[in-house]
Protein backbone atom coordinates (compact mmCIF):
# COMPACT_ATOMS: atom_id res chain seq x y z
CA UNK A 1 0.00 0.00 0.00
CA UNK A 2 1.15 3.52 -0.73
CA UNK A 3 0.52 6.73 1.19
CA UNK A 4 -0.07 9.74 -1.03
CA UNK A 5 -0.10 13.44 -0.32
CA UNK A 6 -2.42 15.29 -2.71
CA UNK A 7 -2.47 19.08 -2.94
CA UNK A 8 -6.15 19.92 -2.24
CA UNK A 9 -5.87 23.26 -4.05
CA UNK A 10 -4.63 21.78 -7.33
CA UNK A 11 -5.45 18.05 -7.10
CA UNK A 12 -1.79 17.35 -7.93
CA UNK A 13 0.27 14.55 -6.39
CA UNK A 14 2.80 16.01 -3.94
CA UNK A 15 4.59 12.83 -2.87
CA UNK A 16 4.10 9.11 -2.58
CA UNK A 17 5.47 6.87 0.18
CA UNK A 18 5.46 3.13 0.72
CA UNK A 19 3.63 2.10 3.86
CA UNK A 20 5.87 0.54 6.49
CA UNK A 21 5.42 -3.17 7.04
CA UNK A 22 4.32 -4.53 10.43
CA UNK A 23 7.85 -5.85 10.89
CA UNK A 24 9.37 -2.42 10.23
CA UNK A 25 6.91 -0.86 12.66
CA UNK A 26 7.80 -3.33 15.40
CA UNK A 27 11.52 -2.61 14.91
CA UNK A 28 10.92 1.13 15.31
CA UNK A 29 8.91 0.56 18.49
CA UNK A 30 11.66 -1.67 19.88
CA UNK A 31 14.26 1.02 19.13
CA UNK A 32 12.06 3.63 20.82
CA UNK A 33 11.83 1.44 23.91
CA UNK A 34 15.61 0.93 24.04
CA UNK A 35 16.01 4.70 23.73
CA UNK A 36 13.46 5.28 26.50
CA UNK A 37 15.59 3.43 29.05
CA UNK A 38 18.47 5.79 28.23
CA UNK A 39 16.44 8.96 27.76
CA UNK A 40 14.62 8.66 31.08
CA UNK A 41 17.99 8.94 32.88
CA UNK A 42 18.84 12.31 31.32
CA UNK A 43 18.39 15.47 33.36
CA UNK A 44 15.67 18.01 32.80
CA UNK A 45 18.31 20.52 31.79
CA UNK A 46 19.62 18.19 29.07
CA UNK A 47 16.13 17.60 27.71
CA UNK A 48 15.35 21.31 27.88
CA UNK A 49 18.44 22.21 25.85
CA UNK A 50 17.25 19.92 23.04
CA UNK A 51 13.68 21.21 23.29
CA UNK A 52 14.83 24.82 22.96
CA UNK A 53 16.77 23.88 19.83
CA UNK A 54 13.57 22.38 18.44
CA UNK A 55 11.80 25.67 19.16
CA UNK A 56 14.52 27.59 17.33
CA UNK A 57 14.30 25.22 14.37
CA UNK A 58 10.56 25.87 14.14
CA UNK A 59 11.04 29.63 14.16
CA UNK A 60 13.94 29.61 11.72
CA UNK A 61 12.07 27.45 9.21
CA UNK A 62 8.50 28.69 9.71
CA UNK A 63 8.14 29.68 6.04
CA UNK A 64 9.19 26.21 4.89
CA UNK A 65 6.82 24.49 7.31
CA UNK A 66 3.97 26.86 6.44
CA UNK A 67 4.46 26.05 2.77
CA UNK A 68 4.47 22.32 3.51
CA UNK A 69 1.17 22.58 5.40
CA UNK A 70 -0.33 24.64 2.58
CA UNK A 71 0.68 22.11 -0.05
CA UNK A 72 -0.35 18.98 1.85
CA UNK A 73 -3.62 20.06 3.49
CA UNK A 74 -4.49 23.50 2.14
CA UNK A 75 -3.86 25.68 5.19
CA UNK A 76 -3.18 29.30 4.21
CA UNK A 77 0.60 29.61 4.45
CA UNK A 78 0.54 32.57 6.81
CA UNK A 79 -1.57 30.46 9.20
CA UNK A 80 0.90 27.58 8.90
CA UNK A 81 3.76 29.91 9.77
CA UNK A 82 1.83 31.06 12.84
CA UNK A 83 1.27 27.41 13.72
CA UNK A 84 5.01 26.75 13.61
CA UNK A 85 5.56 29.70 15.94
CA UNK A 86 2.95 28.33 18.36
CA UNK A 87 4.74 24.98 18.34
CA UNK A 88 7.95 26.78 19.26
CA UNK A 89 6.08 28.38 22.15
CA UNK A 90 4.97 25.03 23.56
CA UNK A 91 8.51 23.67 23.23
CA UNK A 92 9.94 26.61 25.17
CA UNK A 93 7.12 26.43 27.72
CA UNK A 94 7.84 22.85 28.69
CA UNK A 95 11.59 23.37 28.50
CA UNK A 96 11.08 26.04 31.17
CA UNK A 97 8.39 24.36 33.26
CA UNK A 98 8.76 20.58 33.10
CA UNK A 99 11.13 20.19 36.05
CA UNK A 100 8.89 22.36 38.23
CA UNK A 101 5.75 20.47 37.19
CA UNK A 102 7.31 17.06 37.89
CA UNK A 103 9.19 17.88 41.09
CA UNK A 104 8.47 15.48 43.98
CA UNK A 105 5.58 16.54 46.18
CA UNK A 106 6.26 15.98 49.88
CA UNK A 107 3.23 15.14 52.01
CA UNK A 108 2.86 15.12 55.80
CA UNK A 109 1.95 11.64 57.07
CA UNK A 110 2.96 9.43 60.00
CA UNK A 111 5.98 8.25 57.96
CA UNK A 112 9.51 9.52 58.37
CA UNK A 113 9.07 10.77 54.85
CA UNK A 114 6.38 10.40 52.22
CA UNK A 115 6.19 11.95 48.82
CA UNK A 116 4.78 11.66 45.33
CA UNK A 117 7.16 11.29 42.41
CA UNK A 118 6.40 11.42 38.69
CA UNK A 119 8.09 8.81 36.53
CA UNK A 120 7.82 8.41 32.73
CA UNK A 121 5.86 5.46 31.33
CA UNK A 122 7.81 4.54 28.20
CA UNK A 123 6.84 4.58 24.54
CA UNK A 124 3.68 6.61 23.88
CA UNK A 125 1.74 6.23 20.64
CA UNK A 126 0.22 9.41 19.19
CA UNK A 127 -2.53 9.15 16.56
CA UNK A 128 -2.90 12.63 15.12
CA UNK A 129 -5.12 14.44 12.57
CA UNK A 130 -4.33 16.59 9.55
CA UNK A 131 -6.01 19.87 10.45
CA UNK A 132 -3.20 21.30 12.60
CA UNK A 133 -0.49 18.90 11.41
CA UNK A 134 2.31 20.44 13.50
CA UNK A 135 0.51 21.86 16.54
CA UNK A 136 -1.48 18.73 17.40
CA UNK A 137 1.77 16.77 17.47
CA UNK A 138 3.95 19.24 19.37
CA UNK A 139 1.40 19.91 22.10
CA UNK A 140 1.66 16.20 22.91
CA UNK A 141 5.32 15.60 22.10
CA UNK A 142 6.86 18.50 24.02
CA UNK A 143 5.50 17.46 27.44
CA UNK A 144 5.86 13.72 26.73
CA UNK A 145 9.54 14.01 25.81
CA UNK A 146 10.30 16.45 28.62
CA UNK A 147 8.77 13.95 31.06
CA UNK A 148 11.26 11.32 29.87
CA UNK A 149 9.01 9.30 27.56
CA UNK A 150 9.70 8.46 23.94
CA UNK A 151 7.08 8.63 21.21
CA UNK A 152 5.92 7.09 17.95
CA UNK A 153 3.57 9.04 15.69
CA UNK A 154 0.86 7.72 13.40
CA UNK A 155 -0.10 10.87 11.53
CA UNK A 156 -3.01 11.37 9.13
CA UNK A 157 -2.39 9.78 5.73
CA UNK A 158 -2.66 13.06 3.81
CA UNK A 159 0.19 14.82 5.69
CA UNK A 160 3.12 12.37 5.55
CA UNK A 161 5.57 15.15 4.70
CA UNK A 162 4.59 17.03 7.86
CA UNK A 163 5.04 13.86 9.92
CA UNK A 164 8.54 13.27 8.58
CA UNK A 165 9.45 16.94 8.98
CA UNK A 166 8.54 16.79 12.68
CA UNK A 167 10.69 13.68 13.12
CA UNK A 168 13.62 15.55 11.53
CA UNK A 169 13.09 18.57 13.77
CA UNK A 170 13.57 16.47 16.89
CA UNK A 171 16.55 14.59 15.46
CA UNK A 172 18.22 17.78 14.21
CA UNK A 173 17.73 19.30 17.68
CA UNK A 174 19.88 16.71 19.43
CA UNK A 175 17.23 14.26 20.60
CA UNK A 176 18.26 10.61 20.27
CA UNK A 177 17.42 9.16 16.86
CA UNK A 178 14.58 7.00 18.19
CA UNK A 179 13.19 9.34 20.85
CA UNK A 180 10.53 10.45 18.36
CA UNK A 181 9.73 8.39 15.29
CA UNK A 182 7.11 8.61 12.58
CA UNK A 183 5.25 5.47 11.53
CA UNK A 184 4.15 5.71 7.90
CA UNK A 185 1.16 3.42 8.28
CA UNK A 186 -2.55 3.38 7.61
CA UNK A 187 -5.31 3.05 10.17
CA UNK A 188 -5.39 -0.75 9.76
CA UNK A 189 -2.09 -1.10 11.61
CA UNK A 190 -2.99 1.05 14.63
CA UNK A 191 -4.53 -1.83 16.60
CA UNK A 192 -1.34 -3.84 16.22
CA UNK A 193 0.75 -0.94 17.51
CA UNK A 194 -1.50 -0.59 20.56
CA UNK A 195 -1.18 -4.32 21.23
CA UNK A 196 2.62 -4.14 21.29
CA UNK A 197 3.62 -4.56 24.95
CA UNK A 198 6.38 -1.95 24.57
CA UNK A 199 3.76 0.74 23.87
CA UNK A 200 2.58 1.98 27.26
CA UNK A 201 -0.05 4.61 26.44
CA UNK A 202 -1.96 6.21 23.58
CA UNK A 203 -3.07 9.74 22.79
CA UNK A 204 -5.44 10.53 19.95
CA UNK A 205 -6.80 13.73 18.48
CA UNK A 206 -9.50 13.15 15.90
CA UNK A 207 -13.08 12.13 15.35
CA UNK A 208 -15.30 10.63 18.00
CA UNK A 209 -15.52 7.44 15.92
CA UNK A 210 -11.73 7.09 15.78
CA UNK A 211 -11.46 7.87 19.49
CA UNK A 212 -13.91 5.14 20.43
CA UNK A 213 -12.04 2.58 18.33
CA UNK A 214 -8.68 3.46 19.89
CA UNK A 215 -10.15 3.59 23.40
CA UNK A 216 -11.70 0.16 22.94
CA UNK A 217 -8.43 -1.43 21.83
CA UNK A 218 -6.40 0.37 24.51
CA UNK A 219 -8.97 -0.69 27.11
CA UNK A 220 -8.51 -4.32 26.11
CA UNK A 221 -4.79 -3.88 26.72
CA UNK A 222 -5.29 -1.79 29.92
CA UNK A 223 -3.33 1.13 28.51
CA UNK A 224 -3.80 4.75 29.46
CA UNK A 225 -5.43 6.99 26.85
CA UNK A 226 -6.03 10.70 26.33
CA UNK A 227 -8.65 11.56 23.71
CA UNK A 228 -9.32 14.99 22.19
CA UNK A 229 -12.23 14.45 19.85
CA UNK A 230 -14.82 16.39 17.87
CA UNK A 231 -16.70 19.47 18.90
CA UNK A 232 -19.67 21.60 17.99
CA UNK A 233 -18.81 24.66 20.02
CA UNK A 234 -21.70 27.00 20.87
CA UNK A 235 -21.16 30.76 21.03
CA UNK A 236 -23.87 32.52 23.06
CA UNK A 237 -24.75 36.06 22.01
CA UNK A 238 -26.73 37.64 24.86
CA UNK A 239 -28.88 40.76 24.68
CA UNK A 240 -26.15 42.98 26.19
CA UNK A 241 -23.30 41.74 23.99
CA UNK A 242 -21.12 44.26 22.17
CA UNK A 243 -22.32 43.18 18.75
CA UNK A 244 -19.45 44.47 16.61
CA UNK A 245 -16.83 42.79 18.79
CA UNK A 246 -18.90 39.61 19.04
CA UNK A 247 -19.38 39.34 15.26
CA UNK A 248 -15.69 39.90 14.52
CA UNK A 249 -14.68 37.29 17.10
CA UNK A 250 -17.29 34.78 15.94
CA UNK A 251 -16.31 35.06 12.27
CA UNK A 252 -12.61 34.74 13.14
CA UNK A 253 -13.33 31.59 15.12
CA UNK A 254 -15.58 30.06 12.47
CA UNK A 255 -13.01 30.59 9.71
CA UNK A 256 -9.89 29.47 11.60
CA UNK A 257 -8.06 26.93 9.45
CA UNK A 258 -10.73 27.34 6.75
CA UNK A 259 -13.29 26.17 9.30
CA UNK A 260 -11.49 22.89 9.97
CA UNK A 261 -10.93 23.09 13.71
CA UNK A 262 -12.45 21.06 16.52
CA UNK A 263 -12.64 24.22 18.66
CA UNK A 264 -13.88 26.55 15.95
CA UNK A 265 -17.22 28.22 16.65
CA UNK A 266 -19.91 26.05 15.08
CA UNK A 267 -23.29 27.04 16.56
CA UNK A 268 -24.19 30.70 17.11
CA UNK A 269 -26.91 30.81 19.74
CA UNK A 270 -28.40 34.32 19.58
CA UNK A 271 -31.12 35.82 21.80
CA UNK A 272 -34.13 37.19 19.94
CA UNK A 273 -33.34 40.87 20.40
CA UNK A 274 -29.95 40.44 18.69
CA UNK A 275 -30.77 37.95 15.92
CA UNK A 276 -31.51 40.35 13.07
CA UNK A 277 -28.56 42.68 13.67
CA UNK A 278 -26.14 39.84 14.43
CA UNK A 279 -27.17 37.95 11.30
CA UNK A 280 -26.75 40.95 9.00
CA UNK A 281 -23.30 41.82 10.34
CA UNK A 282 -22.21 38.18 10.46
CA UNK A 283 -23.20 37.47 6.86
CA UNK A 284 -21.39 40.61 5.68
CA UNK A 285 -18.16 39.61 7.44
CA UNK A 286 -18.34 36.02 6.15
CA UNK A 287 -18.98 37.25 2.61
CA UNK A 288 -15.90 39.48 2.76
CA UNK A 289 -13.57 36.57 3.63
CA UNK A 290 -11.40 35.84 0.59
CA UNK A 291 -11.25 32.21 -0.55
CA UNK A 292 -8.37 31.10 -2.75
CA UNK A 293 -4.84 29.78 -3.16
CA UNK A 294 -3.36 28.97 0.28
CA UNK A 295 0.03 30.23 -0.91
CA UNK A 296 -1.45 33.70 -1.56
CA UNK A 297 -0.92 35.95 1.45
CA UNK A 298 -4.35 37.57 0.88
CA UNK A 299 -6.21 34.26 1.22
CA UNK A 300 -8.25 33.77 4.35
CA UNK A 301 -10.09 30.56 3.41
CA UNK A 302 -8.15 27.86 1.60
CA UNK A 303 -9.45 24.57 0.24
CA UNK A 304 -10.78 21.87 2.46
CA UNK A 305 -8.16 19.22 3.15
CA UNK A 306 -9.70 16.53 0.94
CA UNK A 307 -12.46 16.32 -1.63
CA UNK A 308 -14.37 13.66 0.29
CA UNK A 309 -14.44 15.87 3.38
CA UNK A 310 -15.68 18.82 1.29
CA UNK A 311 -18.41 16.65 -0.20
CA UNK A 312 -19.52 15.37 3.22
CA UNK A 313 -19.75 18.96 4.46
CA UNK A 314 -21.90 19.91 1.47
CA UNK A 315 -24.24 17.00 2.16
CA UNK A 316 -24.68 18.23 5.74
CA UNK A 317 -25.57 21.68 4.43
CA UNK A 318 -28.03 20.27 1.89
CA UNK A 319 -29.72 18.05 4.48
CA UNK A 320 -30.05 20.96 6.89
CA UNK A 321 -31.68 23.11 4.19
CA UNK A 322 -33.98 20.25 3.22
CA UNK A 323 -35.11 20.11 6.85
CA UNK A 324 -35.94 23.81 6.94
CA UNK A 325 -32.74 25.79 7.48
CA UNK A 326 -32.30 28.94 5.39
CA UNK A 327 -29.04 29.32 3.47
CA UNK A 328 -28.13 33.02 3.60
CA UNK A 329 -24.67 32.71 2.04
CA UNK A 330 -22.65 30.12 0.16
CA UNK A 331 -23.88 26.56 0.21
CA UNK A 332 -22.69 25.67 -3.29
CA UNK A 333 -19.58 23.82 -4.46
CA UNK A 334 -17.52 26.16 -6.66
CA UNK A 335 -17.01 25.21 -10.30
CA UNK A 336 -13.23 25.24 -10.03
CA UNK A 337 -10.25 23.00 -9.41
CA UNK A 338 -9.57 22.08 -5.80
CA UNK A 339 -11.51 21.03 -2.72
CA UNK A 340 -12.93 24.48 -2.05
CA UNK A 341 -16.08 25.27 -0.10
CA UNK A 342 -17.23 28.86 0.39
CA UNK A 343 -18.03 30.56 3.69
CA UNK A 344 -21.63 29.54 4.33
CA UNK A 345 -24.29 30.78 6.75
CA UNK A 346 -27.39 28.81 7.72
CA UNK A 347 -30.18 30.50 9.65
CA UNK A 348 -33.23 29.15 11.51
CA UNK A 349 -31.29 26.05 12.49
CA UNK A 350 -33.23 23.64 14.71
CA UNK A 351 -32.83 20.21 16.35
CA UNK A 352 -32.87 17.33 13.90
CA UNK A 353 -30.71 19.15 11.36
CA UNK A 354 -27.05 18.19 10.82
CA UNK A 355 -26.15 21.84 11.41
CA UNK A 356 -27.64 21.57 14.91
CA UNK A 357 -26.80 17.99 15.90
CA UNK A 358 -23.50 17.20 14.18
CA UNK A 359 -20.07 18.69 13.79
CA UNK A 360 -19.72 20.73 10.58
CA UNK A 361 -15.99 20.62 9.89
CA UNK A 362 -15.64 23.49 7.47
CA UNK A 363 -16.55 27.17 6.98
CA UNK A 364 -20.28 26.71 7.68
CA UNK A 365 -22.01 28.66 10.45
CA UNK A 366 -25.32 27.73 12.07
CA UNK A 367 -27.39 30.57 13.58
CA UNK A 368 -29.85 29.36 16.21
CA UNK A 369 -32.34 31.91 17.57
CA UNK A 370 -33.43 31.63 21.22
CA UNK A 371 -35.73 33.63 23.47
CA UNK A 372 -33.42 34.36 26.40
CA UNK A 373 -30.37 33.39 28.45
CA UNK A 374 -32.00 30.31 29.91
CA UNK A 375 -32.87 28.91 26.50
CA UNK A 376 -29.43 29.85 25.17
CA UNK A 377 -27.75 27.76 27.87
CA UNK A 378 -30.11 24.86 27.19
CA UNK A 379 -29.34 24.92 23.46
CA UNK A 380 -25.59 25.24 24.11
CA UNK A 381 -25.66 22.11 26.26
CA UNK A 382 -28.05 20.24 23.95
CA UNK A 383 -25.21 18.44 22.20
CA UNK A 384 -23.31 15.18 22.45
CA UNK A 385 -20.13 17.28 22.33
CA UNK A 386 -18.46 19.26 25.09
CA UNK A 387 -15.16 20.65 23.89
CA UNK A 388 -15.41 24.44 23.97
CA UNK A 389 -17.97 27.21 24.38
CA UNK A 390 -18.08 30.99 24.55
CA UNK A 391 -20.47 33.60 25.88
CA UNK A 392 -20.68 37.26 24.87
CA UNK A 393 -22.01 39.80 27.38
CA UNK A 394 -20.88 43.15 28.77
CA UNK A 395 -21.74 41.94 32.27
CA UNK A 396 -18.48 40.20 33.11
CA UNK A 397 -19.77 38.61 36.32
CA UNK A 398 -22.72 37.20 34.39
CA UNK A 399 -20.39 35.82 31.74
CA UNK A 400 -18.11 34.25 34.35
CA UNK A 401 -21.05 32.59 36.08
CA UNK A 402 -22.39 31.10 32.86
CA UNK A 403 -18.92 29.95 31.71
CA UNK A 404 -17.85 28.49 35.05
CA UNK A 405 -21.08 26.92 36.24
CA UNK A 406 -23.56 26.39 33.42
CA UNK A 407 -21.86 25.51 30.14
CA UNK A 408 -20.96 21.86 29.64
CA UNK A 409 -17.53 22.00 28.03
CA UNK A 410 -13.86 21.60 28.82
CA UNK A 411 -12.95 25.20 27.92
CA UNK A 412 -15.33 28.14 28.29
CA UNK A 413 -14.39 31.65 27.21
CA UNK A 414 -16.04 35.01 27.91
CA UNK A 415 -15.99 37.62 25.10
CA UNK A 416 -13.27 35.70 23.27
CA UNK A 417 -12.97 32.75 20.94
CA UNK A 418 -11.95 29.34 22.25
CA UNK A 419 -8.25 28.58 21.75
CA UNK A 420 -5.53 26.35 23.10
CA UNK A 421 -2.72 27.83 25.18
CA UNK A 422 0.29 25.95 26.64
CA UNK A 423 -0.45 27.53 30.04
CA UNK A 424 -4.04 26.23 30.24
CA UNK A 425 -5.43 22.68 30.28
CA UNK A 426 -7.11 21.64 27.05
CA UNK A 427 -9.65 18.87 26.46
CA UNK A 428 -13.32 18.01 26.50
CA UNK A 429 -16.14 16.06 28.07
CA UNK A 430 -18.96 13.90 26.71
CA UNK A 431 -18.20 12.73 23.14
CA UNK A 432 -15.43 15.30 22.87
CA UNK A 433 -13.16 12.97 24.82
CA UNK A 434 -11.34 12.86 28.14
CA UNK A 435 -8.01 13.68 29.68
CA UNK A 436 -6.16 16.95 29.31
CA UNK A 437 -3.31 18.30 27.26
CA UNK A 438 -1.10 21.31 28.00
CA UNK A 439 -0.33 23.07 31.32
CA UNK A 440 0.84 20.99 34.28
CA UNK A 441 -2.17 18.70 33.81
CA UNK A 442 -0.98 17.65 30.35
CA UNK A 443 2.53 16.62 31.33
CA UNK A 444 1.14 14.48 34.16
CA UNK A 445 -1.11 12.39 31.87
CA UNK A 446 1.72 10.09 30.76
CA UNK A 447 3.68 9.59 33.96
CA UNK A 448 3.39 7.15 36.83
CA UNK A 449 2.15 9.21 39.78
CA UNK A 450 4.00 7.18 42.37
CA UNK A 451 3.67 7.23 46.17
CA UNK A 452 6.88 6.70 48.15
CA UNK A 453 6.52 6.00 51.90
CA UNK A 454 9.56 5.76 54.18
CA UNK A 455 9.01 4.38 57.68
User: Would you call 91 a catalytic residue per the annotation?
Assistant: no
Q: How far apart are CA 326 and CA 191, in angstroms?
A: 43
From the list 167, 262, 359, 437, the catalytic residue is 262
For the segment 82-86, the average pLDDT, to the nearest whole number, is 98
Q: Is residue 120 part of a domain?
A: yes
Q: Is residue 427 part of a domain?
A: no
Give yes or no: residues 318 and 249 share one domain: yes
Give yes or no: residues 53 and 174 share one domain: yes
Give yes or no: residues 175 and 81 share one domain: yes
Identify the pLDDT of residue 353. Answer: 98
Instruction: Give the residue numbers spanning the domain of 197.
Output: 2-229+432-454
Q: How far apart are CA 359 and CA 231, in angstroms?
A: 6
Give yes or no: residues 412 and 299 share one domain: yes
Is the distance from CB of 91 to CB of 421 less than 8 angstroms? no
pTM assigned to the model: 0.97
User: Would you call 85 a catalytic residue per the annotation?
Assistant: no
Give yes or no: residues 310 and 241 share one domain: yes
Identify the pLDDT of residue 1. Answer: 84
Identify the pLDDT of residue 174. Answer: 98
Is a pLDDT exceeding 90 seen at residue 452?
yes
Identify the pLDDT of residue 287. Answer: 98
Share of the chain above pLDDT 90, in %: 100
Q: Is residue 193 part of a domain?
A: yes
Is the distance from CB of 36 to CB of 150 less than 8 angstroms? yes
Q: In the structure, what pLDDT confidence band is assigned to residue 272 with cuts at 50, 70 and 90?
A: very high
Identify the pLDDT of residue 57. Answer: 98
For the segment 144-162, the average pLDDT, to the nearest whole number, is 98
From the list 19, 83, 228, 359, the catalytic residue is 228
Give yes or no: residues 403 and 447 share one domain: no
Is a pLDDT exceeding 90 seen at residue 412?
yes
Give yes or no: residues 405 and 436 share one domain: no
Looking at residue 176, which CATH number applies to its domain?
3.40.605.10
**417-441 pLDDT, tens per residue?**
999 999 999 999 999 999 999 999 9
Give yes or no: residues 185 and 241 share one domain: no
User: Of 444, 425, 446, which is closest to residue 436 (Cα–Cα)?
Assistant: 425
How many independent structural domains does the chain possess? 2
Is a pLDDT exceeding 90 seen at residue 217?
yes
User: Of 39, 56, 130, 125, which is closest to residue 91 (Cα–Cα)?
Assistant: 56
Give yes or no: residues 217 and 266 share one domain: no
Q: Is residue 238 part of a domain?
A: yes
Looking at residue 399, which CATH number applies to its domain?
3.40.309.10
Give yes or no: residues 315 and 351 share one domain: yes
CA 75, 340, 348, 288 dihedral sign is positive
Amino acid sequence: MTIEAINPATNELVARYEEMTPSEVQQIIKAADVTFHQWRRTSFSERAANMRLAAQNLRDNAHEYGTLMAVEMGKPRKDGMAEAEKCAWVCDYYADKAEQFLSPEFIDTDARESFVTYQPLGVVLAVMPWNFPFWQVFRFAAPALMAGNTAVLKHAANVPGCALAIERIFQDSGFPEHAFRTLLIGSRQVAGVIENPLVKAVTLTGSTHAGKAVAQKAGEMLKKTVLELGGSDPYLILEDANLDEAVTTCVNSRLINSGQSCIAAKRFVVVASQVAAFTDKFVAHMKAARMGDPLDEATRVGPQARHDLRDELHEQVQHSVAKGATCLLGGEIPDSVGAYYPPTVLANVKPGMPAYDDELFGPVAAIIPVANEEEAIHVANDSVFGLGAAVFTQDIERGKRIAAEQLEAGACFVNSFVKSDPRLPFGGIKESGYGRELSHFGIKEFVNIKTVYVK
